[in-house]
């Protein structure tokens, strides 16, 4: 799966036909240098009788001498220490329990092993003729496989041999207990020891995941209240429209328009949450199915992408922690590759990754030995928990103390690099050998690739392999459009396809570390499911954050979105892609349609006349014609699938492929070769002019083409990241991350769902990933501004969900959800107007609602009650706290009248007048003090609208109370309605006001706020009463006028 490790940084440009290895590095000892020594005892491995080097394990070639091999077979667990493959008997070695009776001699061992592996792989989950997995397909060595998979009887015998009788009985008894609790096995069942294998077979046949619907006692009342709220809204609008306020007609008209928009926005947000679901996975079954004892693991490889732009705004120590958590994943090391995209061509990040690779040689074995969580050292050592809990290894305390000391030294080295990078030399940066850094000009530099760790690269301190770590900086030249993050991600897709080509890809931001080392296994429970997996485009995990204050003042956690909206979408067609924490199916990113099993033809009756078939049975000719005319790539791909034994096809939809059409007549390999030659231009037009990459796109299960070498692959990798590679191709249009918006995540997921792919929302008990979020007000508003601007760009593009993809396979409720994601910024305009109306009413004495009758007031009360009950029931089934819900409501108003409003106007300026707005990277570093950045005040124009609203409403409250005091008790009744709406605005903007006032060590903000209000009101009352003026008792004397 991997190519050889390079001796240095490779930089080159395909257009200029240049490729240079700039410098060499001192590497830790490689496998070749240690291959002659036994990794167990340190002695020489020795040779066989025929003079060849003794190889104990033919799977991984782990160097073990013959005495250690024989001792392991007779006294140990009979398996290779590295890959856990069961040792086979060599010629001249004694037999042990568990050896095959018919095992061949050593001379024929290699051939026999290869044949057996091929036969086993062909029989695992073998498809039936109709494209489904056939539960009746027999394994040559044991019982039948179910559709969900199982283990063979022979494999169970080998597993049973690994335990003594007591351990085996304990394991089976524990399994029986679990099954009895689930009600799958009766307690009165037989206790025949011969049934042990059947129990484990039943366990393996169980699915890897299950859907957990919300209990009807919670979801049914929720749906009833939603329907009632719709009815109440209808009567409410009937009253509002039929009873205008003639004395304040403009205010009434504006308020009614705003309320209608709010109702429309609520419908878009509410109905995609109609059928929320939960899911749970079974990691033990995944291991039992794909990691059997004595066999090589069959888990699918994963390429992990980490993207970064500016290491001064995204500190290298944060990126290093993310990379270290990836390298320490609980996943086979040969199946993990980490690609770091440096879109700023920074030598600081390049040197930081070199230090990270060196530190990983000690950090990764420590994590795996002691199973620590999380596996990002900065966050592991900062945990305020009992780190000795469940740790029984006496050496743990000593090793943890030593590892913490080494990490502090590692941080010192990284911080030294950061300090050095603060001031760039006039002549530019130079590398270790004096060569100028190729990325000194960040806008004009060649593509760069450096492999730090890998299949044959540096080993850890225990002599074991580490996952591959690759530094990638794509080529940039003036005059080319590079498409920011989306272009960088597409470059990583192509580089990884050339170097490793894993079938699945995990996408992470540089500040999102892996908090759960089994996160990839959680995703594989869905992606490797034999029935559902092929139809999934991605598995999305929720975003969780560190470093946020307990009160979460600005709703940084987005709990309502991730725990309510996303679970609702999971019950329809799947969650939207949110930009990070997502495991992709590579085939879905290539623009292919999901596989569709061919349906059985409908039953027809021959007794009907032939002319009746057009009405009852349909036209067969029309179907055949549709089958003849289709995109060439779809036809070629389906032919390829049939040759592989899978009878489903990827039918290219017209908007996706739109290539040359040919007649269906591919019969035999000769015709296929002709068609392949004819289609070469079509492939290049779609994927670019890289034969290696094009070949990789047709390898659904991943892997590299045979006969490739490291030099050719590196040269091809430099080619696919060249700045002109995407010209005249479909990259960014139909393939990979889609261009056209700064929020490329929403657009990319939307295109996949339009093709018919489905996504899954996975919420493990331990959060899979954690990241950092901007916690001060200004940075938070700028982050929301970028998201809203991307939504406006999509709304004004051809990919708008309002009119795009109606001939596809997007479900209607899913379309409503996508419409909501692109129209929500426009809610800022009616929201701003609605928040201004209370102040205007208080200042003018007018009101948007005429005098209420008793019957009309019922609808107002019913509407407010339905809003409250809907929220309460939503919190009940989702488990979200009322504090998180209220913070979300508050920030909906704060962001709506500031960031969303600016996004609308910036989007219109960009589309109509071409005025582009630059995307500012949100700072990932926090202050040294805990939550110190929370109180950091940065003035920005986004603060003007909400500040104005607060002042207007506060002045309005003072003016309204003053007017009521002057006019007597009769004016207090109408005042209460106006005050209610004004206080509604002030309460929602309270966190914003708190952010404006900054850190208040002595006086709470609420005290200051109420002090101002009460002082103003009391002053007016004081003036009205005039206590210091003498009061006259008796008749009021007036000045006599002319008519006296």
Catalytic (active-site) positions: 343, 745
Using alpha carbons, select from 507, 504, 543 the residue that is nearest to residue 527: 504
Residues present in the chain in total: 1044
Helix (H) or strand (E) holding 270, with range, is helix 249-270
Residue 1027, CB-side half-sphere exposure with 13 Å CA sphere? 5
CB-count burial class (<10 Å; 0-12, 13-18, 19+) for 192? exposed
Q: What is the DSSP string of 567-590?
A: HHHHTTT-PPP-SSSEEEEHHHHT
- CA 524/CA 286 separation, integer angstroms: 8
Residue with tokens 């295109």: 751
- CA 667/CA 700 separation, integer angstroms: 23
**Cα angle 783-785-786, degrees, rounded to a multiple of 5:** 70
First to last CA, the chain: 112
Strands 8-13, 544-546: pairing is unpaired
Q: What are phi and psi of 665, to 5 degrees?
A: -160, 25
- CA 861/CA 134 separation, integer angstroms: 59
- 3 state SS of 524: helix
* Helix, strand, coil share of the chain (percent; to 5): 50, 10, 40
Residue 701: how many other CB atoms lie within 10 Å: 11
Establish whether the linkage from the previous residue to 374 is cis, with ω within 30° of 0.
Answer: yes
Cβ contact 292:207 at 8 Å: no
Residue 233, CB-side half-sphere exposure with 13 Å CA sphere? 17
324: its two tokens: 């270290």
Cβ contact 1008:1000 at 8 Å: yes
Residues 6+ apart with CB under 8 A from 899: 781, 782, 784, 785, 788, 942
- CA 304/CA 171 separation, integer angstroms: 35
Quickly count helices (H) and strands (E) in the chain. 35, 17
Cα dihedral 253, 256, 257, 258 sign: positive
191: its two tokens: 């206790």
Residue 88: how many other CB atoms lie within 10 Å: 22
Strands 544-546, 582-585: pairing is unpaired
Helix (H) or strand (E) holding 210, with range, is strand 209-213
Q: How far is CA 141 from CA 117, 120, 379, 682, in A?
A: 12, 9, 48, 45
Cβ contact 453:360 at 8 Å: yes
DSSP 764: -
- CA 299/CA 303 separation, integer angstroms: 13
Question: What burial letters (b/e) apply to 795-814, b meaning 16+ CB within 10 Å?
Answer: bbeebbbeebbeebbbeebb
Residues 6+ apart with CB under 8 A from 522: 281, 283, 516, 539, 541, 762, 764, 768
Residue with tokens 């094009």: 694
Cβ contact 512:322 at 8 Å: yes
Cβ contact 950:993 at 8 Å: yes
């Amino acid at each position: 799966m991997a190519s050889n490790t390079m001796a240095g940084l490779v930089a080159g440009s395909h257009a200029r036909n240049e490729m240079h290895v700039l410098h060499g590095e001192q590497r830790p000892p490689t496998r070749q240098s240690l291959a002659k020594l036994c990794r167990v005892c340190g002695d020489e491995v020795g040779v066989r009788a025929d003079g060849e080097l003794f190889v104990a394990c033919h799977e991984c070639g782990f160097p073990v001498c013959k005495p250690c091999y024989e001792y392991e077979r007779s006294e140990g667990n009979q398996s290779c220490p590295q890959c856990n493959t069961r040792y086979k008997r060599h010629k001249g070695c004694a037999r042990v329990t568990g050896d095959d009776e018919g095992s061949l001699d050593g001379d024929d061992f290699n051939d026999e092993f290869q044949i057996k592996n091929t036969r086993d792989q062909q029989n695992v989950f073998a498809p039936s003729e109709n494209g489904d997995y056939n539960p009746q397909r027999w394994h040559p060595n044991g019982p039948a496989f179910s559709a969900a998979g199982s283990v063979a009887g022979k494999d169970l015998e080998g597993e049973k041999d690994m335990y003594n009788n007591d351990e085996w009985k304990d394991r089976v008894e524990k399994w029986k207990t679990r099954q009895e609790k689930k009600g799958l096995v009766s307690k009165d069942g037989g206790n025949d020891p011969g049934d042990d294998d059947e129990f484990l077979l039943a366990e393996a046949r169980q699915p890897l995941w299950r859907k957990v619907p919300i209990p009807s006692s919670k979801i049914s009342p929720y749906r009833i209240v939603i329907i009632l709220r719709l009815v109440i809204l209808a009567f409410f609008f009937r009253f509002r429209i039929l009873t205008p306020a003639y004395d304040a007609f403009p205010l009434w008209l504006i308020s009614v328009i705003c309320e209608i928009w709010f109702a429309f926005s609520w419908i878009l947000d509410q109905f995609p949450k109609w059928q929320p679901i939960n899911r749970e996975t079974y990691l033990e079954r995944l291991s039992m199915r794909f990691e059997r004892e004595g066999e090589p693991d069959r888990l699918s490889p994963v390429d992990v992408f980490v993207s970064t732009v500016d290491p001064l705004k995204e500190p290298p120590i944060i990126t290093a922690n993310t990379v270290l958590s990836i390298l320490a994943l609980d996943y086979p090391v040969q199946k993990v590759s980490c690609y770091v995209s440096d879109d700023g061509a920074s030598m600081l990040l390049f040197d930081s990754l070199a230090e990270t690779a060196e530190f990983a040689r000690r950090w990764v074995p420590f994590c795996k030995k002691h199973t620590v969580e999380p596996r990002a050292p900065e966050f592991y050592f900062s945990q305020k928990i009992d780190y000795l809990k469940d740790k029984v290894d006496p050496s743990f305390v000593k090793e943890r103390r030593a590892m913490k000391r080494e990490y502090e030294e590692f941080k010192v080295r990284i911080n030294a690099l950061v300090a050095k990078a603060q001031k760039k030399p006039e002549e530019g940066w130079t590398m270790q050998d004096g060569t100028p850094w190729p990325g000194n000009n960040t806008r004009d530099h060649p593509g760069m690739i450096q492999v730090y760790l890998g299949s044959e690269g540096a080993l850890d301190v225990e002599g074991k392999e580490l996952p591959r770590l690759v530094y990638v900086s794509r080529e940039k030249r003036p005059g080319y459009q590079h498409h920011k993050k989306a272009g960088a991600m597409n470059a990583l897709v192509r580089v990884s396809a050339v170097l490793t080509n894993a079938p699945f890809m995990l996408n992470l931001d540089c500040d999102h570390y892996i908090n759960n080392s089994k996160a990839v296994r959680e995703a594989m429970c869905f992606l490797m499911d034999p029935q559902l997996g092929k139809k999934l485009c991605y598995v999305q995990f929720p975003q969780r954050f560190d470093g946020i204050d307990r009160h979460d003042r600005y709703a940084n956690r987005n709990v309502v979105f991730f725990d309510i909206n996303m679970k609702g979408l999971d019950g329809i067609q799947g969650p939207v892609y949110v930009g990070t924490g997502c495991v992709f199916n590579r085939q879905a990113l290539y623009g292919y349609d999901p596989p569709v099993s061919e349906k059985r033809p409908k039953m027809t009756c021959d007794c009907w006349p032939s002319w009746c078939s057009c009405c009852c049975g349909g036209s067969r000719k029309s179907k055949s014609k549709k089958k003849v005319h289709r995109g060439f790539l779809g036809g070629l791909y389906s032919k390829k699938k049939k040759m592989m034994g899978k009878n489903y096809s990827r039918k290219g939809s017209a908007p996706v492929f739109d290539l040359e059409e040919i007649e269906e007549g591919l019969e035999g390999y000769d015709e296929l070769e002709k068609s392949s030659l004819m289609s070469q231009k079509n492939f290049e037009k779609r994927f670019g002019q890289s034969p290696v990459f094009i070949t990789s796109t047709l390898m659904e299960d991943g892997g590299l083409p045979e006969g490739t070498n490291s030099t050719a692959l590196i040269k091809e990798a430099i080619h696919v990241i060249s700045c002109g590679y995407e010209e005249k191709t479909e990259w960014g249009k139909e393939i990979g991350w889609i261009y056209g918006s700064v929020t490329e995540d929403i657009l990319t997921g939307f295109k996949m769902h339009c093709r018919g792919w489905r996504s899954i929302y996975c919420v493990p008990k331990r959060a899979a990933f954690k990241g950092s979020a901007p916690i001060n007000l200004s940075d938070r508003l700028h982050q929301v501004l970028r998201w809203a601007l991307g939504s406006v760009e999509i709304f004004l593009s051809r990919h708008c969900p309002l009119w795009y993809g109606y001939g596809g396979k997007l479900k209607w409720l899913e379309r409503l959800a996508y419409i909501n994601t692109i129209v929500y910024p426009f809610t800022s305009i009616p929201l701003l107007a609605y928040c201004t109306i209370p102040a205007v009413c208080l200042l003018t004495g007018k009101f948007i609602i005429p005098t209420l009758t008793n019957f009309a007031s019922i609808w107002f009360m019913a509407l407010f009650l339905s809003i409250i009950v809907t929220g309460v029931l939503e919190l009940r089934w989702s488990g979200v706290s009322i504090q998180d819900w209220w913070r979300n409501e508050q920030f909906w108003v704060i962001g709506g009248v500031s960031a969303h409003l600016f996004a609308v106007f910036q989007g219109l300026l960009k589309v109509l007048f071409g005025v582009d707005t630059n995307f500012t990277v949100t700072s990932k570093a926090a202050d040294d003090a805990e939550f110190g950045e929370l109180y950091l005040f940065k003035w920005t124009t986004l603060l003007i609208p909400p500040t104005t609203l607060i002042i207007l409403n506060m002045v309005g409250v003072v003016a309204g109370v003053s007017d009521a005091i002057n006019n007597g008790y009769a004016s207090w009744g109408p005042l209460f309605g106006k005050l209610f709406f004004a206080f509604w605005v002030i309460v929602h903007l309270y966190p914003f006001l708190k952010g404006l006032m900054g850190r208040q060590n002595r006086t709470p903000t609420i005290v200051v706020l109420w002090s101002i209000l009460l002082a103003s009101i009391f002053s007016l009352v004081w003036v009205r009463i005039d206590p210091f003026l003498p009061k006259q008792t008796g008749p009021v004397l007036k000045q006599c006028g002319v008519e006296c």
